[in-house]
Structure 1
Amino acid sequence: VVEAKTTLEPHWLASSICFVADSSTDLLCFEVRDSADAQSIIGHGCTPFVREAAQSDSEAASFAAHLSAGLDLTFEVVPQLPAPPPRPPTRPPPSPVPLVPPLRRDSTAGRVAQLNERFRVGAPASDLESAGVLVRQFDTLDDPAHPWLPCPADQWCAGFGDRWPTSIINTGARHLYYADGKGGVVIAPTVSIFCAYAEDGNSMDGSKVCNPLGGNGVTCIPGCYPKGQECPDIGHAWSCSFPPTQLKEALQAQQDRSDMRARNNEIVIDTSTLVAQMPEVILGFFYISDEAYSRQIRRKFLQFYDLGEEEGPLLVRLDLSSPDAPFSLP
């Protein structure tokens, strides 16, 4: 059964005219199509055709087309196959790792001034760049041979290789984890973070180690509390972590309590995004008291990435007692 449509019409097939021997009547074959959809074949059939009306296949097809309105055509309906099921949705591609701009050609003094400006205007914000300057002190979670990289798989600290504890510093946040003058690195604000703490969050706790590394973002988040135990879930800012989308709230929580202002905040970064952006992601090597060690590590960095003295990261002194310009050249 075919739904009655005024758009159905026969399409005569010149190559399908069947001439019957010793007969003046032949069979003219046709397809039935919907003129609203020229590619749709509804059915097919044949009808008697008087040979005297035309002498060739092409003439027969042309002549039959003129007669089609007056012919009573019957045809066999072509079975319509069901439409194929929709393709399952594909998983969206992972978000690309943000890339830092190429190494800047600003003067050394100009780059130091930029760090001091970010320190001076930094305040609780949803993005790392507006919050201040992101720094990390050297410790045992570094690659022993390349301290600007996270712990490698063949070291005791391999289980912590997916994260680095760092801190945001600005005029309202002037404390680092180690008070003994350890130096470290200044990190570009283009890395991704796993979570943020208003104070030291003990990100090395055994319950915050994920297998496999990197976690699943729900029941295990490297260095952080799992979903359901984050600060917004429990309603306070201690013994919990803030998700990446609430960096501003974490930094504001530090400012809201005098005891937290007297300590460092902890920003747990995803080291895979750090490694992917080497070497540009390291903006500088800083020292507080031991200039020689930071200078030595910077020299190894320049050699490792084949960088010149002027294009490589800064070597700067960090003095957090300075009102608004803690970074200076040696």
Structure 2
Amino acid sequence: MSAVIRFFSVLLLSGWVVSSGAAPIPALPPEPPTLNELGYQTDTHHRLTIVSGARVRSQANNQSGVVATLTLGTTMKQIGRTAQPSALGDSKHYWYQVELDNQRRGWIFGSLTLPYHPSQHLEIYRKLVEERMGQSLSFADQMELTRLLQKLIAEIHEGDTPPKSLLAELQLAYLKSIQKTLDVYNQLSPTQRRQNPYSAWLRHLEQTAKEVIFFDEISARQLVKNEAFWELYEANPRMNQLSDHIAWTAANHPIGGECEGDLNCYFSYQLNSGLLRYLKHFPNSSYQQQALDTLLMETNPKDAYWSASDASELTQQLAQMTAILSQIDTPASTRLLAQLRRLSKS
């Protein structure tokens, strides 16, 4: 069993905590189950937060005291709602009276939540994750999404039995979300990196995700390991578009280091971790032309070199590349093969 797969199999996350709140308020009539934007069966007696920092208030207005501030993906029992919707900023929605896990009660504005059905919680969370991953999030929100993904993956390993594709989607989103937080961290000055929340977050990742992250000394960046994506693909090789997407993500994820025009280094990277490895598995995918165009551009003869000591290995690499590209019958693949042969003889 690989380190990455073992990592996913033991992933754990400490529980969330919400603050105390106001005394119980008499329940109002529940609304009909018509607000499920996700398209799933709803249980209007539960709701799910779809933003970070959602505030539960003591009364059904934005001026009352805060009972609790909830993280993304928090579930709560709905026990009532206001008779009429209210306007808050650009949104118009009901206020919902909810009960938290600690049995405290309060009110939350409807646009911060969705109806939630416990029996479909993983599929509903999957849609929530998909939406959040498509947004440009703050560092704090991206951290919170990463923690939510940790929690969901841990729940699956502890007993849930969802479709394998759903687990693979969450694992892919988790790796990508980690890298998004690291992209922010990598842009900071050394002084900023030593400050919270950045230093605390890196320590958290070093404790909970050490199998999938590393520090690349050459580029001075924290990165998710390229092989973590490839191992996820190898564990899920026959899921059509999802497998294709995982492999394409892997092929375009940095491995660290720098080849600086060294053909032997570049070919080794592309065969073992990059676009040629991708084309070996998906020679006729929708990304084919993009992969070939990139390889044509990056093997420009004027920017490449190799030493005589590399000749034997280059011959072996060319044979591997020829075998991969022979699966593809396009003008771009023909040009690339011809260019690679010229390079190896120059």
Name the structure with the higher helix share: 2
**TM-score bucket (shorter structure):** under 0.3
In terms of Rg, which structure is larger? 1
Name the structure with the higher strand share: 1
TM-score by length of 1: 0.22
Q: Which has the higher contact order (CA 8 A, sep 6+)?
A: 1
